Amino acid sequence: MKLNLKIWRQAGPNAKGRMVDYKIDGVESDMSFLEMLDLLNEKLIGKGDEPIAFDHDCREGICGMCSLFINGEAHGPDRLITTCQLHMRKFNDGDTITIEPWRANAFPVIKDLIVDRSALDRIQQAGGYISVNTSGRSVDANNIPIPKKDADMAFDAATCIGCGACVATCKNASAMLFVSAKVAQFALLPQGRVEAAKRVQDMVAAMDAEGFGSCTNTGACEVECPKGISLTNIAILNKEFLLAQTK
């Protein structure tokens, strides 16, 4: 396969970036999207050019490190996958593909396609935990039965990989889906109820302080989320937030 690539290049956080055109040949349909970029980089290094910097690590869709905006979509055209799981069989010979970093005020570009997502960590630090010491001497794991339905819903919320696709997709660059997934996971479990009110308030305050936009319920985040995190979590967050205000 031959492809025309238009890729965002930016030397550093304060440098001016621009789209650069590349032609690539010899792409195979079994390659993953990132293996296609590996191939391009190998060629660039061979020519003495600087390779394209992009974030990636596990390459099996779970670490949340990869983060490309491909043809205007977070993680590219396929659904329920990350960029590393996108395969070139989704493209055709001669296609033009644009590749950009996540775009959001709260995610400044570090280099080329790499952005700084530490804002998401700081939101978690504001309350994305249950305050239990690590002594292992709390109670037996089976002391509190949890209805399977609640446990399954908490699990579904907990599968968020923190990649930031929801933010990149949202026209307001809102982090509501990300925050709601953590709030909902803990709100659904008896262990998390104790601090539920404080948690939702602290996490929402941290989210606002980081400069993420507001949620206007367009639902685009849910469509692009590689883990299928449901909008229901945002409803749970809103409910928890209102409940917390009344306390």
Partner 1 sequence: MSTINIKEGTPLKAKIPEGDLAQKWTIYKDKIRLVSPANKRNLDIIVVGTGLAGASAAASLAEMGYNVKAFAFQDSPRRAHSIAAQGGINASKNYQNDGDSDWRLFYDTIKGGDYRGREANTYRLAEVSGAIIDQAVMQGVPFARDYGGLLDNRSFGGVLVSRTFYAKGQTGQQLLLGAYSALNRQIARGKVEMYNRHEMIDLVVIDGHARGIIARNLVTGEIERHSAHAVVLGSGGYSNAYFLSTNAMGSNATAAWRAHRKGAYFANPAFVQIHPTCIPRSSEHQSKLTLMSESLRNDGRIWVPKKLEDAKALQQGKLKPTEIPEEDRDYYLERRYPAFGNLVPRDVASRAAKERCDAGFGVNKTGEAVYLDFSTAIERYGKEQAHLKGIKNPSKKLITELGEKVIEQKYGNLFQMYEKITDDNPYKTPMMIYPANHYSMGGLWVDYDLQSNLPGLFVIGEANFSDHGANRLGASALMQGLADGYFVLPYTIGDYLADYIREGKIPTDTPEFEEAEEKVKEEINFFINNKGKHSVDYFHKKLGKIMWDKAGLARNAKGLKEAIKEIQELRSQFWKDVRVPGKANEYNPELEKAGYVADFLELGELLALDALNRNESCGGHFREEYQTEEGEALRDDKNYAYAAAWEYPAKPYERFTKHVNMSDAILHKEPLIFEFVKPTTRSYK
Chain positions 49 to 78 lying near partner 1, rule: CB under 8 A, are: 49-51, 53, 55-65, 78
Shortest distance (Å) from residue 193 CB to partner 1: 10
Shortest distance (Å) from residue 218 CB to partner 1: 26
Q: Is the Cβ–Cβ distance between 156 and 184 less than 8 Å? A: no
How far is the CA of 61 from the CAs of 40, 92, 191, in angstroms?
21, 23, 29
Given the complex with partner 1, which of 89 and 214 has the nearer CB atom?
89
| Residues between 16 and 45 that touch partner 1 (CB under 8 A) | 28, 30-32, 34-35, 38-39, 42, 44-45
Site membership for partner 1, residue 177 (CB under 8 A): no
Given the complex with partner 1, which of 64 and 213 has the nearer CB atom?
64
Site membership for partner 1, residue 94 (CB under 8 A): no
Among 19, 130, 235, 242, binds partner 1 (CB under 8 A): 130
Q: Would you tell me how many other CB atoms lie within 10 Å of the CB of residue 245?
A: 10
Shortest distance (Å) from residue 226 CB to partner 1: 11
Using CB under 8 A, which of the segments 91-99, 159-167, 172-180, 236-244 binds partner 1? 159-167
Size of the site for partner 1 (CB under 8 A): 79
